[in-house]
Chain A
Amino acid sequence: MRNLFALLAGGLFGAGLMISGMTDTAKVQGWLDVFGDWDPTLAFVMGGAILPMTLAWTLTRRRAAPALGGAFPPPPEPKLGHNLVLGSVLFGMGWGLAGLCPGPAIAALSYGGPGLYIFVAAMLLGMRAAPRLRSRLDRALQAE
């Protein structure tokens, strides 16, 4: 049952990414390119997505547990930390370079062509290397 609803949630996510235009790298880069022909679409997508999510978070406060049991996610960690900032900067650079982030990269698998497979393969490699890099960074910063 959990897997069925995960499939449904993923389907909604993938469909939304496709019809919103977020799998079109030109639209994403067009939004980031404030000095070019600026494309505001991404702001509409973000706004549209945040609306139901705000409602969902409000509902979690009125319910004891998720519909299929278990527990709701704990409140967000208040600490920011160097990993959050450095990671977000690196991610933003890659996002700007190719106009792709992880969600749309998966949503476009069926129509993105060979270029997309190269991006996804490199992304998986990066994700695999990240834990080692994180512990090195933490050790280096602690030593200071």
Chain B
Amino acid sequence: METDWIMGLLGGLLIGLGGAVFLLVNGRIMGASGLIGGLVDGSGKSNALERLSFLLGVATLPVLLWPLVGPIDTHITTNLAVLAAAGLLVGVGTRLANGCTSGHGVCGISRLSLRGIVATAFYIGAGGLTVVLFRHLLGVI
């Protein structure tokens, strides 16, 4: 358990360092949903290459770490309906709210943005209720 917390803290510092580099060097806010969404809906055409480079880094660096961190079990559900519904909700929700855990959570809270704090309170609240409902009452997840 304690190793999980230490790895969590270390990983968190790396996440924050990535956000700091993106802000101080590129002048951009590190928000995963905004960076992806801009490519999907065309609103981010003017800096598409910068967005793609960022996402390429997100997807490929974990491959290089495989030998060190070992195989990671994502424990992802095999329920196709749950996966599809969850993906749709995450996609629509993050774009409506203009941010997710990285943009509103990490980058927003750290600058004491009211929008970031309110968004985080709502997605954590909704997430908690959803897990309680679908795990303990319905037994689906």
Contact = CB atoms under 8 A, between A and B. Distances in A.
B9 A113 contact: no
Given A97-B86, A127-B91, A7 B13 contact: no
Interface string B6-44: 011111111111111111111111101100110011010
Nearest to B111: A57
Interface in A27-57: 27, 29, 32-36, 39-42, 44-57
Most B-side CB within 10 Å, residue of A13, A14, A48, A107? A13
A48 B74 contact: no
Contacts of A105: 90
A77 to B, nearest CB: 6
A67 interface: yes
A89 B89 CA distance: 9
A140 interface: no
Given A12-B15, A47-B9, A127 B115 contact: no
Contact of B56 (A7, A17, A51, A63): A7
Contact of A6 (B9, B36, B57): B57
A141 interface: no
A130 B135 contact: no
Contact of B14 (A16, A25, A39, A95): A16
Contacts of B78: 115
Contact of A48 (B13, B93, B118): B13
Contacts of A86: 93, 96-97
Interface of A: 2-27, 29, 32-36, 39-42, 44-57, 59-60, 63, 65-73, 76-80, 83-103, 105-113, 115-116, 118-131, 133-134, 137
